[in-house]
Amino acid sequence: MKNMRLCQTVNISIKMHKNYQKVFRWILVSGLLLVPLFNFWSPWTSSGVDIRSRWSPVQKVLSKKIGDIIRGYPDIAYHKKEEVACRLAQNACVCLAGEETFHLPFSHLLFPPVLAHNLQYAFLENHPDPEGIKHHRAQEYKNFQRRSYNPADVLIVAEANNPLQYPIQGVEVQPLKTIIIPGLGLKQEARSSYTVNLTATLGTFDVAATVDMVSIKGEGENYMTLSSPLLSALNRQLQFVTYTNIVFHPRTADSIQFATEGHQAFFTIKVGHRKVPKLYNSGYNGGYNITALVTIATKTFIRYDKLKDLIDSIRKYYPTVTIVIADDNKDPQPVTGPHIEHYIMPFGKGWFAGRNLAVSQVNTKYVLWVDDDFIFTANTKLEKLVDILEKTTLDLVGGAVREVTGYAATFRHTISVEDGGEEGDCLHIRLGYHHVIEGFPNCVVADAVINFFMARTHEVQQVGFDPRLSRKGHLEFFIDGLGSLHIGSCSDVIVNHASKIKLPWTKSETRKVYEKFRYSSTGGNDRDELIYFKNRFKCMTRQ
């Protein structure tokens, strides 16, 4: 009897074990199926949005319309005011040294002369292909202009409806420089006299030329009045009104009041230095020279075996691409080989500090970030990432990382900030993306991507990686870059991830030491402090 009960118990246990196995397998399969759904889910159903670098078609229409406005009244004569007109930009700078005005002993120390260095002549004189390099630079600058183009900077003039006519956007002046204010005008019914006045805060007004029968008061001051018995003469005079910035600030704006009897309007003049282009001379041969365009950057700690596997896999497909390695090991080992730059850091300096160091040493147009336990395969096509960066306005584009299970993760997220009042704002991070990119069906626009991405070097250097994140950190970089980085993700460029599955009794001492540092519980408060204090968030929701 006891044996029968024992057999029944064993049979029941076996059946239950088999049922548990079935349930476990069902849960595992369901989970693997759901992960891609979550990864590729998006609230958008759009077939694709075009984000290629291009000019707005409206710009051509605006240029003609504004040209007609600015060049009105050609039959009314004017008299140039040389002391003002000479301060206007001529759009034709010349490379001339300053003339020596003193011939006294040591005068060059008291009054250092203005020197001139003709870069074009000095660089191109000995270049083997001067015309080719000029063409390449022109093409790079054209691409830079298209990427930098912002419709909000285009000059738009509000034609007189109230009855003042004035520019509503697109007027800029460099600090302490002078410009003509375009588009000023007055459209009123007939009367005995017409008067307008202008008021500024950070600058003064003047005229580059005078028109007969127009009275001007306040030249060289921040309040100027113009009046005339002839409307056409007043409008002609308004075409020569200048603005001079008198308060130095590299990036601000002056609010201008433009008024006539019973009416007033306001517009802004941007004050700031011109954006200096950041161009990379990577050569041009009709294709993508990855060696000249891309540097691969990584950070390593303890896992020299993984790092070696990464380098070997890169060299299989890209034998001459430079690899920059930041290393904060306690006992660093030499990492040598062609096109390898190995930088030693103080012990345990950290994850983001290492990222900063590695990226700071990149001098190519693009930087590819990889973890030290990634492995390149035939699907790790860097040319695809370069292609989308060259043809769109994206600053950074992520790929996919294939895990040992075979699933390729893209880790796409959207990030948004919600106003929260005096206590701080709310940060919302969600799985998904914004829309598909037209012309690149495997690519989407998102706000955060996986830890395998290619980016414009200059843009990543500007955002930087907060070195206070020593052991854990990834999304924090994208939070800091929100509003400045245009980010995409492509699922058809894949790098493999070395297996992390290790049974406890098979772990090496090196791996145990690594995991002790990597998965330490310390550092959570640092992340909270950064997000709370530095980024001024009182709440973070994350999916």
Q: What is the CATH number of the domain that holds 368?
A: 3.90.550.10
Amino acid (one-letter) located at 25: R
The residue range of the domain holding 206 is: 152-272
Across the range 123-131, mean pLDDT stands at: 80
For residue 392, the Cα-to-chain-centroid distance in whole angstroms is 13
Look at residue 320 in the predicted model and tell me its pLDDT. 97
Q: Both 211 and 315 in a single domain?
A: no
Q: Is the dihedral of CA 133, 134, 135, 137 positive or negative?
A: positive
Number of domains in the chain: 2
How much is the average pLDDT of 513-529? 60
Residue 448 lies in a domain: yes
Concatenate the DSSP letters of all residues of 467-522 into one string.
Answer: TT--S--SHHHHHHTTTT--EEEEEEEEEEE------GGG--HHHHHHHHHHT-ST
Same domain, 267 and 310: no
Residue 183 shares a structural domain with residue 308 = no
Residue 204 forms part of a structural domain: yes
Asked, for residue 139, whether it belongs to a domain, the answer is no
Arithmetic mean of pLDDT, 118-141: 79
The average confidence (pLDDT) of the chain is 83
Q: pLDDT tens-digit profile of 156-205?
A: 777 766 799 999 889 999 999 999 999 999 999 899 999 999 999 999 99
- Helix, coil or strand: residue 286: coil
Retrieve residue 410's tokens: 């893209």
Domain assignment present for 111: no
322 with 240, same domain: the answer is: no
- End-to-end Cα spacing for the chain: 57
Q: What is the CA radius of gyration of the chain?
A: 32
> 299 falls in which pLDDT band (50, 70, 90)?
very high
Under DSSP, the state recorded for 229 is: S
Query: Final residue of a domain: which of 214, 241, 272?
Result: 272
Looking up residue 192, the CATH number of its domain turns out to be 2.60.40
Number of residues that make up the chain: 543
CA distance 417 to 215: 52
Q: Summarize the confidence of residues 132-153 as an average pLDDT.
A: 77
Residue 29 lies in a domain: no
3-state secondary structure 24-65: HHHHHHHHHHHHHHHHHCCCCCCCCECCECCCCHHHHHHHHH
**Which of 108-112, 476-480, 515-519 is most confident?**
476-480
Q: Is the pLDDT of residue 219 over 90?
A: yes
Contact 201, 254 (CB under 8 A): yes
Alpha-helical regions (H) of 86-154: 107-110, 119-124, 130-148
Residue 372 and residue 315 share a domain:
yes
Looking at the predicted structure, is the pLDDT value of residue 507 above 90?
no
Nearest to 156 by CA among 70, 238, 237: 70
> Do 352 and 418 share a structural domain?
yes
125 secondary structure, DSSP code: T
State the Cα–Cα distance between residues 141 and 279, nearest whole angstrom.
7
> Among 134-143, 170-179, 482-491, which stretch is predicted with the lowest mean pLDDT?
134-143
Helix (H, G, I), strand (E, B) or coil at 189: coil
Specify whether 175 is located in the same domain as 221. yes
- Please tell me whether residues 355 and 431 are part of one structural domain: yes
**21 within a domain of the structure (yes/no):** no
Does residue 266 sit in the same domain as residue 333? no
What is the C-alpha to C-alpha distance for residues 172 and 226, in angstroms, rounded to an integer?
Answer: 23
Give yes or no: residues 351 and 499 share one domain.
yes
Helix, coil or strand: residue 8: helix
More confident residue, 419 or 36: 419
Among 242, 272, 302, where does a domain finish?
Answer: 272
Q: How high is the pLDDT of residue 65?
A: 60
- Taking only the tens place, the pLDDT of each residue in 6-53 is 444 445 444 444 554 554 454 444 544 444 444 444 444 456 777 676
Residue 68 has pLDDT above 80, yes or no: no
Tell me what pLDDT residue 366 has: 97
Q: How many whole angstroms separate alpha carbon 268 and alpha carbon 202?
A: 11
Lowest mean pLDDT: which of 59-73, 162-176, 513-527? Answer: 513-527
Beta strands in 301-412 (DSSP E): 322-327, 340-344, 366-369, 374-375, 396-402, 408-409
Final residue of a domain: which of 272, 302, 333? Answer: 272
Residue whose pair of structure tokens reads 């989407």 in the numeric block: 444
The upper half-sphere exposure of residue 450, i.e. CA atoms within 13 Å in the direction of its Cβ, equals 23
Q: Do residue 233 and residue 168 come from a single domain?
A: yes
pLDDT score at 472: 79
Residue 360 lies in a domain: yes
CA atoms within 13 A on the CB side of 23: 6
Tokens of 292: 């000249």
As beta bridge partners, residue 342 has 325
Residues 266 and 351 in one domain: no
> Given this model, what pLDDT does residue 501 score?
55
pLDDT at 237 over 70: yes
Question: Is 62 inside any structural domain?
Answer: no
**Model pLDDT, residue 43:** 46
The helix (run of H) or strand (run of E) holding residue 295 is strand 294-300
